[in-house]
Structure 1
Amino acid sequence: MTDSRKQPAPCGTWTSPITAHVVAAGSAPLSGVMLDGADVYWLAGRASEGGRNTLLRRRAGATEELKSELTPSPFNVRTRVHEYGGGAALVADGTVWFSHFADNRLYRLDGGGAPQPVSAGGDLRYADFVLDKARNRLVGVREDHSAGATYPVNTLCAIDFDGRETVLVDGNDFYSAPRISPDGKHLAWISWDLPRMPWQGTELWLAEIGPDGTLLDGRMIAGGGQVDGGEAIVQPEWSPDGVLHFVSDRCGWWNLYRYEHGVVHALSPRHAEFATPPWVFGNSMYGFLSNSEIVCTYIEDGVSRLARMQVASGAMTPIETPYEEIRELRVCGNTIAFLGGSPTLAAELVRMDLTQGTREVLARSIAQLPDVGYLSVPQSIRYPSADGRTSYAFYYAPKNADFAPQPGELPPLMVIGHGGPTSMAPSTLKLAIQFWTSRGIAVLDVNYGGSTGFGRAYRDLLAGRWGIVDVEDCVAGARYLADQGLVDRERLVIRGGSAGGLTTLCALLFHDVFKAGASYYGVSDLKGLDADSHKFESRYTEYLIAPPERAAAVYAERSPINHADKLRRPMIFFQGLDDKVVPPPQSEVMVDALRARGLPVAYLTLEGEGHGFRKADSIVRTLEAELYFYLRVFGIPVPAGLPAIEIENLSA
């Protein structure tokens, strides 16, 4: 039934307070949560400053007015180890160490002074540090780009406070999560080698720290196994009394374990995920209240929970919060801090005192939320997909306090395939989705086979079938909603970034369902991806597509660029010119192919942007261009004030 108080208008033209400028200015990425006692530190992304990450602090008991920015411009707290970074800062006893993106150097910040350089930087990059207090040094991951080899050399390295560096562990392709025992006598860490990614198989190592600071008696204590069926271990942590804990998917789900007296014990087995794929350093989903109690967050059916876990019994006691996505959980004493979000709450930084039961919001990714009348609350849906499997997604119906579809009109649908492709689409409020729904365009955010949050078997559905399973699940979701009479099957579009760009292209090539698409720095040439890829992902396609002996044939069969003759739908492409993960030629070859075929195509390049757009003007430009593109393609009136873009081969 149509709300008589709302004005009927064509879907896609509704006036909305959630403008592209609001999306760009209103969403400040929050990350890098750290606790030092009850003081909370975190990183905030500044789109208005070219995407700079700055370090903020909120002391215990301080008011919002006493929040401190510790790294003013030009400091950019960011690292490019593995290209994706993370783990760029460390705080202990009021002292901060951080990586500065511009020169790759480590800096030390004491009290209210200016940051002082510690390391050489240049061709050396650093991440995931831990303080070795007894030896006045940091231990972390170092990535050396100076050797002139095809790929950099990764090691675990000690960096003395005077700048001297000592390699502690080498020989593996990758390292992460160095963790020193409370008594300072042992170091645990994770390593893995190509062709694995760290969610396919890793090894957990343990060594004694000798009197001279070198490592003795290094031994693997868990992990290893076959390339495709290996145990993936993440986030080792020491309990206050010196017992090593970690998360492993050896049971088919990322669960918590402890290593004691040479034996691995499961803490609380359940069909839930206590970890996410470590695309970046510094992920944390549990910490210790005491020797006997853990605070943890875990994912069930795509939704996060927060709980206290008894180490001895594995008993779980829920901690009530309003959040359905919880990440970057840190624990210190009875204080916890994390990033939380829900369908009606954008990501926010939270500090909780578990003794007093208080919860305090310290920062919000969106300073001021739009009126609820313009916010679409997603519905979690399951639907049938190919081969009898079930797929998962969040469906957002159009929502606007002032407008409704014209009589008899069904809204267009935008299907989103997330990147990764092993990441996950959460339900946390995102203005970038509300931008579309508040204009009358429905959105389906798909957690296709291969996504995180549903166990290893679901994650492994993508093994050898990237560009197939993800595409099938997006296609099935669009058809499901059209069959339910919720959306217009003649106005179905698909968009995706990075890996989601490949999903978009394959969906348009091999299925006659979507009428248009948008690729954000998407993959079009699998062979070219291998040739241009950085070390971290250099052999990921062996898992996603095919091993080397079969790669040529499968790449040719599945790469969109080889099937441009099958593409009959308009597309728009967005590409950062500094992207090292999916370089510009990946978009350009597809744009050229569409041009040659005379199909409607638009191509927007962005200087100074890499893999993912950080600058405010880039966010505004791409959103407005994508909206303009769809309106023109579907013959929907273009609202006044929406900037025009060039669409080649599109008749007036």
Structure 2
Amino acid sequence: MATTRAETGQAPYGSWPSPIDAALVAARDGRPEFLDAVGDEVWWTEPRPEEGGRRALMRLGADRSAPAESVLPPPWNVRNRYIEYGGTPWAGAPRAEGGPLVVFTHFDDQRLYAFAPDDPATPPWPLTPVSAVGGGLRWCDPVLRPSLGVVVCVLEEFTGEGQTDLRRLPVSVPLDGSAAEDRTRVVELTGATHRFVTGPRFSPDGRQAAWLAWDHPSMPWDGSLLRLARVTADGAFTDVRTVAGGPDESVAQVEWAADGSLLFATDRTGWWNVHRLDPASGEPVNLCPRGEEFAGGLWKVGQRWFAPLPSGLVAVVHGLGEMVLGILDPATGELVDAAGPWTEWAPALGVCGTRVTGVAAGTRSAFEVVELDTGTGHTRVVGAAHRDPVDPAYYPEPQIRTFSGPGGRDVHAHVYPPHHPDLTAPEGTLPPYVVWVHGGPNSRAPLVLDLEIAYFTSRGIGVAEVNYGGSTGYGREYRNRLREQWGVVDVDDCAAVALALADEGVADRSRLAIRGGSAGGWTGAASITSPAAEGVYACATILYPILDLEGWAEGETHDFESQYLESLIGPLADTRARYRDRSPSRRADRVDAPFLLMAGLDDVICPPVQCDRFVAEVRERAAGAAVGHAYLTFEGEGHGFRRADTIIRAVESELALYIDTFGLDRDDVPPLELHG
């Protein structure tokens, strides 16, 4: 719906009125995820911030004529906590009678359930038991095998109360519910030989299974293995072996083509390219050698950057920085991209015959479900369609930029200048700018419409998203810049972008800020305590951050990232002094800018105890002259905010910090009380 515009004229940067309020930002938070085909239907999960942040399971019919419908009412929450970040939480398969059968994990108890959506009289029935030990039993990345009466998935089983007291392995769970009260009915398909595994993918004839595995201290984008096994008639795995990958090679995804060939994405060339395993030599064959990425960091198990079609073609998400959808012919290496306005395709692809469905967004549209008919080349939105909640004239107009960092190295960024359809700032004035730092840190910021960015740019505050050295999307060499340099390269690159914008006369040098969550929160906190960025920023917004490296490495995080710092900082046994020296909690006396710190009280990835210690250190070390700061915590929130009321409070508090620090003339949000 359109919103009445303000009168045309001039007003200072940061004071512009905007129809994009925090409630709208909260309502549009999140995106469709974990999309796949069930026969000729398309299913996915979708966020519901207004329902406590639950994930709804959506179903789109075969003819695509009717809107997608939510198949499970509240409180069903289709999400799991595998490696805490979660992974594919559902799977479905068509049946000859009675409609499809679907299995899913329910977030509240982490159990695996089954249900028949076309039989509303039968509620979902549990397939797995509840564990009384530690974090319980978690099930992820399921594949239905109806002919055997089982669902195969990966199990994360806690063996003690600690976050690292656990084992992971592929398992088979009976669909009749006999394991719901009997853990012994769950069949372990291999030993727990690797610390981390993905769910198996089965060859078309069902006689082989392939999956990924890796071990501490590697992260999956550093080094992982492609494992292959023979499958017996009763579903057991035998002759398990490694066929690709290694300590310096990352295999990000594996799938089987219709002809029985094994396809996988590996960065053995320095770029994640799609390869086929040569059955004669056992060697990988690159199907489309390019200096760009056909995969990314495996933060959530089950992400799909490519999907084989029955015809032998392969749908691929690929690019350098920005990721687009293309169709690859493995026989010729020819790659043809889909038409359309979308600048980013998520790693979520499903195939229905000649149709490929995915989740895509553009600079003028949020993530929506899009389908490409490879026979006609026609692309259309089929679900979660973007609707402009305000006049799109209020959306920012981003710029793709490459800046020069220390030593002349490239630093990639997206710059969103302040933008308003009816207002400009007085001549000779410059806007405040906020550097946005993505999480990960081996992740990246996509170039898409984000109403949270628009919230600020439409008010006259610029935003610069920095894909600093270490970000995915630019090859392994760029990614490896962060090895043992976290807290240095990220801090330097963000400061380089901020100062370059000021030097170019784009941003007000005295009104620069930095903000980020998780690893981005670390970079924000490190930036206002590091001599390398001293005096660059006027303030910082720090969300659910890492603040104490030593504590994080010695038990204050979850298992998945518990040894991440071995590569980001260095081996703890040899570089403990480095851990202490770079930690913001150890440099609290150097805080040189006001900050807003926010955390979820249920966060087990970056626990709020680190925030508590940091704030205490700031107040103690400042000896009565603490820099202004606010510390907000939220009950029921974990790592990343999902509830509408939390998101509203967080967004408005961030703006309140900028109003106070930048001296902005506005009173449309509650003031933020700064202590110190």
Shorter-chain TM band = over 0.9
**Range 259-268 or range 333-342, more displaced:** 259-268
Are 2:423 and 1:403 aligned?
yes
- How far did 1:68 drift? 2.0
Contact in 2 for aligned 1:231/1:250 (Cα 8 Å): yes
- How far did 1:342 drift? 1.2
**How many Å separate the matches in 1 of 2:408 and 2:187?**
54
Q: 1:132 aligns with which of 145, 160, 163?
A: 145
What are the Cα deviations for residues 95-147 of structure 1, in whole angstroms up to 9, with x where unaligned?
A: 21100011111111112332121111442100011123432211111001144
Equivalent residue letter for 2:251: I
CA 1:643/1:404 → structure 2, altered by over 3 Å: closer, same or farther?
same
Equivalent residue runs for 1:112-191 within 5 Å: 112-113=119-120, 114-122=123-131, 123-148=136-161, 150-162=164-176, 163=179, 164-169=185-190, 170-191=192-213
2:93 aligns with 92
**How many Å separate the matches in 1 of 2:30 and 2:490?**
29
1:643 aligns with 670
**Range 512-521 or range 24-33, more displaced:** 24-33
**How many Å separate the matches in 1 of 2:603 and 2:276?**
40
**How many Å separate the matches in 1 of 2:464 and 2:470?**
17
- How far did 1:28 drift? 4.7
1:507 aligns with 527
- How far did 1:388 drift? 2.0
Are 2:605 and 1:581 aligned?
yes
TM-score under structure 2 length normalisation: 0.92
Contact in 1 for aligned 2:64/2:382 (Cα 8 Å): no
Q: 1:45 aligns with which of 44, 47, 55?
A: 47
Q: Name the SS for the 1:290 alignment partner.
A: coil
What are the Cα deviations for residues 154-201 of structure 1, in whole angstroms up to 9, with x where unaligned?
A: 111111113331111222101014101111111111111111111111
Contact in 2 for aligned 1:418/1:496 (Cα 8 Å): yes
2:396 aligns with 376
Are 2:20 and 1:18 aligned?
yes
Equivalent residue runs for 1:450-461 within 5 Å: 450-461=470-481
What are the Cα deviations for residues 226-260 of structure 1, in whole angstroms up to 9, with x where unaligned?
A: 4xxx1100211001121111000000000011113
**How many Å separate the matches in 2 of 1:451 and 1:558?**
20
What are the Cα deviations for residues 441-470 of structure 1, in whole angstroms up to 9, with x where unaligned?
A: 000000000011100110111000011111
What are the Cα deviations for residues 551-580 of structure 1, in whole angstroms up to 9, with x where unaligned?
A: 311111110111112112100101100000
Equivalent residue letter for 2:566: E
Contact in 2 for aligned 1:26/1:366 (Cα 8 Å): no
Q: Which runs of 5+ in 2 are unaligned?
A: 1-5, 95-99, 180-184
Q: Name the SS for the 1:536 alignment partner.
A: coil
- How far did 1:595 drift? 2.6
Q: Name the SS for the 2:168 alignment partner.
A: strand
1:546 aligns with 570
2:650 aligns with 622
Are 2:265 and 1:247 aligned?
yes
Q: Name the SS for the 2:296 alignment partner.
A: coil
What are the Cα deviations for residues 394-416 of structure 1, in whole angstroms up to 9, with x where unaligned?
A: 00010112322233220000001
Equivalent residue letter for 1:536: F
Q: Name the SS for the 1:339 alignment partner.
A: strand
1:523 aligns with 546
CA 1:10/1:365 → structure 2, altered by over 3 Å: closer, same or farther?
farther
- How far did 1:56 drift? 0.8
2:434 aligns with 414
2:455 aligns with 435
1:7 aligns with 9
2:628 aligns with 600
What are the Cα deviations for residues 269-315 of structure 1, in whole angstroms up to 9, with x where unaligned?
A: 10111111010012111112235311212022x12222221112212
Contact in 1 for aligned 2:338/2:379 (Cα 8 Å): no
2:110 aligns with 104
CA 1:28/1:525 → structure 2, altered by over 3 Å: closer, same or farther?
closer
2:97 aligns with none
What are the Cα deviations for residues 604-628 of structure 1, in whole angstroms up to 9, with x where unaligned?
A: 1111000000000001001101111
**How many Å separate the matches in 2 of 1:147 and 1:505?**
33
Q: Which runs of 5+ in 1 are unaligned?
A: none
Q: 1:320 aligns with which of 339, 351, 359?
A: 339
- How far did 1:148 drift? 4.6
Equivalent residue letter for 2:203: S
Contact in 2 for aligned 1:26/1:368 (Cα 8 Å): no
**How many Å separate the matches in 2 of 1:288 and 1:115?**
31
What are the Cα deviations for residues 612-645 of structure 1, in whole angstroms up to 9, with x where unaligned?
A: 0000000100110111111112222332x41123
Q: Name the SS for the 1:509 alignment partner.
A: coil
**How many Å separate the matches in 2 of 1:13 and 1:591?**
31
Equivalent residue runs for 1:231-242 within 5 Å: 231-242=249-260
Contact in 1 for aligned 2:140/2:199 (Cα 8 Å): no
**How many Å separate the matches in 2 of 1:592 and 1:102?**
33
**Range 406-415 or range 477-486, more displaced:** 406-415
- How far did 1:209 drift? 1.1
1:194 aligns with 216
- How far did 1:211 drift? 3.2
What are the Cα deviations for residues 378-397 of structure 1, in whole angstroms up to 9, with x where unaligned?
A: 10001100122110000001
**How many Å separate the matches in 2 of 1:441 and 1:249?**
39
Equivalent residue letter for 1:552: R
Q: Name the SS for the 1:617 alignment partner.
A: helix
Contact in 2 for aligned 1:44/1:54 (Cα 8 Å): yes
1:206 aligns with 228
**Range 386-395 or range 548-557, more displaced:** 548-557
Q: Name the SS for the 2:198 alignment partner.
A: strand
1:281 aligns with 301
Equivalent residue letter for 2:207: K
- How far did 1:329 drift? 1.9
Contact in 2 for aligned 1:595/1:601 (Cα 8 Å): no
Contact in 1 for aligned 2:258/2:312 (Cα 8 Å): no
**How many Å separate the matches in 2 of 1:360 and 1:278?**
28
Q: Name the SS for the 1:350 alignment partner.
A: strand
Q: Name the SS for the 1:428 alignment partner.
A: coil
1:299 aligns with 319
2:182 aligns with none
**How many Å separate the matches in 2 of 1:400 and 1:495?**
22
Equivalent residue letter for 1:57: R
**How many Å separate the matches in 2 of 1:478 and 1:366?**
32
